[in-house]
Amino acid sequence: MLKCDFSMRPIFNRLARDMRNYLGLGTRESLFVLQEARNGSRLADVQRRIRIYLQALWDCDFVIKPIAGDFENIERAQPFIKNGFINLPNYYYDSKPDGVRHITGLDTYRAASAHAAAHIVYSQNHFSEKSFDKWQKTMISTIEDARVEALSIRRFPGLKQLWSRQHTATPLHNKTFGDYLNRLARALLDESYQDDDPWIVQGRALFKAADDLESNDISRDLGLALARAFEKKKIKFNVRSDQPGARYRDDNRHLWEGAKLDLGQGQELPSYFFTFKLLLTSNEVSSTDKEIKHPPVKSMANGASASETYIYPEWDYRSQIETPSWVTLREISPKPGELKIIDDIIAQNSHLISRMKNLLNIIRDRGMRRIRKLEEGDEIDINAAIRAQIDIRLEAQPDTRIMMRSARKARDISVLVLLDLSSSANQKIHGQDHTVLQLTQQVCVLFADALETVGDPFAIHGFCSKSRHDVEYFRFKNFDQPYDDVPKSKIAGMTGQRFTRMGAAIRHAAHHLNQQKSRKKLLMIITDGAPADIDVHDRQYLRYDAKIAVKEATRSGIHTYCIGLDPKADEYISRIFGAKNYMVVDHVKNLPEKMLLIYAALTL
């Protein structure tokens, strides 16, 4: 018996030890069973739903990964962003933070993933980790959290309720720096939260007065200012405990340059880590027109006079929605140039001008139309006479208007020539001594001089851009303006600069064309490159927007036609304007005459 007891003791000891570990939650199995017993959500069960949720919001397939080994630290596991991936805890329990509100684990997953995605979208720049101490970094991170959430709420107002329900700080929490930090975080998110502490009031006021939330420089500036102001409270900062209390917020390690990319073998960064550039703005949508004209804004540019500012929407092909009030366009009065430039162009191309005028004279004199159903006319309308004879046979009252007369067609058309005046216009044409800009000036002079013969109303406008906030639009000649020395001097002074945000320029040109009462309206665009701008890295984004702008112009009765000076333009111009509405000019020598032939074909 003693021998038996002695042999069983190690087994009993091992079983007792395992039982203590299990009941004391010292093993992964016990933690897993506890998770199953408690109400909550497991990442493995909701990961697919969360990814669909984020894709519906941002139109981007974010990568979500579980935090490795967080079973042992499940209560304190905090989300983080690393290498562009969203890392979330394996488990979120349901909770009642104030004893009343019930927050499910799924709600917390949604809040955490939406917050991390907002950082990926809006926190494009990083701060230098060596420039700030840990106290300042914590404060800057809190302001950055509020900034990205404010920008997200502008586009998706429902996120405010999702996030604000996670905050539990009240004015009664006033012992540590972390208490005040949590109160500030709630105050910046929820306007209905009441907190009279002077430091909280100051933080609210500074954040509300911020001019531009799209730049994360505001997080640095406000964070440093509030960190200095908090020193008056004489409360010490504990780097371990004084951290944001809302469990859905990540640890902000991605904000600092010290967080190096750490890629394992065969691991790649997600594509949106480099290319995701969100083009969404506030939820203020116009209830009337797609284009909103603001009162004239005093603005000096290149010594020009005051400009008028227009706000236009822009199409995002990734989300398949039109972002309202997104692009700011300013009409700039062009600087005049030397008339000698225009005189030289006319003198060097006198024979071509004569030929073009003869062609337009033929177009003007060509074309007859028949006016039918006349009681008196030049000839009998056979079809009307047959119908009248049938009525007589049927003993019905015939229509006596059986005559017709031929009359010359009256031209009723307005044309607007829109010029791409980006910096690429300053480059020389391959195999030529002159630049694209000089060729554009030549085309404008010869085309305008010839159109004066026909008498068709025409306008010559140009555009360039430097981000969506700064699209410049130039009117060298207006429809109701005579073609004299004033527009000629403006054409002589045109310059090439900046980039090509074509969609906004097409919308504004259509705005001017729609004010004309002509039956036919033609928009001719001359460009030497694809739509591009400094704030857009996706090549297809502005191309699709230009395509939508062309469709909008077509729906309003405007025919658009593009003349491309880029030999490789076929691949994108045809998609923007349609297979029959463009021409790529390989030999630019005959461009003015070709342009006139196109005009003649489109206006007959």
For the chain, what percentages of helix, strand and coil (3-state, to nearest 5) are there? Answer: 45, 20, 40
CB atoms closer than 10 angstroms to residue 94: 15
Q: Which fold has domain 339-364+411-603?
A: Rossmann fold (3.40.50)
Whole-number pLDDT of residue 526: 92
Strands (DSSP E) contained in 354-457 are: 368-374, 379-380, 403-408, 413-420
**490 pLDDT exceeds 80?**
yes
Whole-number pLDDT of residue 125: 76
**70 pLDDT exceeds 60?**
no
**455 pLDDT exceeds 80?**
no
Residue-wise pLDDT for 153-166, tens only, equals 999 999 999 999 88
Nearest to 121 by CA among 255, 259, 276: 276
**347 pLDDT exceeds 70?**
yes
Nearest to 150 by CA among 177, 115, 124: 115
pLDDT, mean of residues 546-571: 89
User: For the chain, what percent of residues have pLDDT higher than 90?
Assistant: 28
Contacts 24+ apart (CB under 8 A), 230-233: 230/139, 230/177, 230/180, 230/199, 233/180, 233/199
User: What's the rounded Cα separation, in Å, for the pair 53 and 185?
Assistant: 25
User: What's the rounded Cα separation, in Å, for the pair 495 and 489?
Assistant: 12
The residue with greater pLDDT, 266 or 118, is 118
Residue-wise pLDDT for 385-405, tens only, equals 899 899 899 888 888 888 888
The residue with greater pLDDT, 379 or 237, is 379
Whole-number pLDDT of residue 589: 63
Range among 263-267, 273-277, 431-435, 461-465 rated most confident: 461-465
Between β-strands 40-42 and 403-408, what pairing exists: parallel, antiparallel or unpaired?
Answer: unpaired
Residue-wise pLDDT for 80-121, tens only, equals 998 888 999 988 888 776 666 678 888 999 999 999 999 988
pLDDT, mean of residues 362-380: 74
Whole-number pLDDT of residue 405: 85
Residue 214 · residue 123 · CB < 8 Å: no
Residue 143 structure tokens: 């302001």
pLDDT band for position 144 (cuts 50, 70, 90): very high
User: What's the rounded Cα separation, in Å, for the pair 474 and 425?
Assistant: 15
Residue 504 · residue 471 · CB < 8 Å: yes
Residue 533 · residue 500 · CB < 8 Å: yes
Whole-number pLDDT of residue 76: 56
**220 pLDDT exceeds 90?**
no
User: What's the rounded Cα separation, in Å, for the pair 241 and 260?
Assistant: 25
pLDDT, mean of residues 424-451: 84
Residues with Cβ within 8 Å of 258's Cβ and at least 6 positions away in sequence, in order, are: 129, 130
pLDDT band for position 279 (cuts 50, 70, 90): very low
User: What's the rounded Cα separation, in Å, for the pair 311 and 323?
Assistant: 11
Whole-number pLDDT of residue 278: 37
Whole-number pLDDT of residue 7: 63
**288 pLDDT exceeds 70?**
no
pLDDT band for position 29 (cuts 50, 70, 90): low
Range among 554-558, 569-573, 578-582 rated most confident: 554-558
User: What's the rounded Cα separation, in Å, for the pair 449 and 158?
Assistant: 58
Distances (CA, A) of 230 to 187, 198, 218, 223, 234: 16, 10, 18, 11, 8
**32 pLDDT exceeds 80?**
no
Place of tokens 């006596």: 400
User: For the chain, what percent of residues have pLDDT higher than 70?
Assistant: 80
User: What's the rounded Cα separation, in Å, for the pair 32 and 50?
Assistant: 22
**35 pLDDT exceeds 60?**
no
Range among 30-39, 238-247, 443-452, 470-479 rated most confident: 470-479
What is the b/e burial string over 531-552, where b = at least 16 CB atoms within 10 angstroms of the residue's CB?
A: bbbeebeeeebbbbbbbbbbeb
What is the b/e burial string over 258-271, where b = at least 16 CB atoms within 10 angstroms of the residue's CB?
A: ebeeeeeeeeeebe
What is the b/e burial string over 301-339, where b = at least 16 CB atoms within 10 angstroms of the residue's CB?
A: eeeeeebbebbbbbbbbbbeeebbbbbbbbbbbbbebee
pLDDT band for position 5 (cuts 50, 70, 90): low
Poorest-pLDDT segment among 64-68, 331-335, 464-468, 600-604: 600-604
Residues with Cβ within 8 Å of 511's Cβ and at least 6 positions away in sequence, in order, are: 291, 310
Whole-number pLDDT of residue 506: 96
pLDDT band for position 461 (cuts 50, 70, 90): very high
The residue with greater pLDDT, 244 or 232, is 232
Residue-wise pLDDT for 290-309, tens only, equals 333 333 333 333 333 345 88
Residue-wise pLDDT for 498-518, tens only, equals 999 999 999 999 999 999 988
Residue-wise pLDDT for 235-255, tens only, equals 887 767 766 678 899 888 888
**Identity of the residue numbered 507:** R
User: What's the rounded Cα separation, in Å, for the pair 293 and 310?
Assistant: 5
Whole-number pLDDT of residue 512: 95
Q: Please state, rounded to an integer, the average pLDDT across all residues of the chain.
A: 80
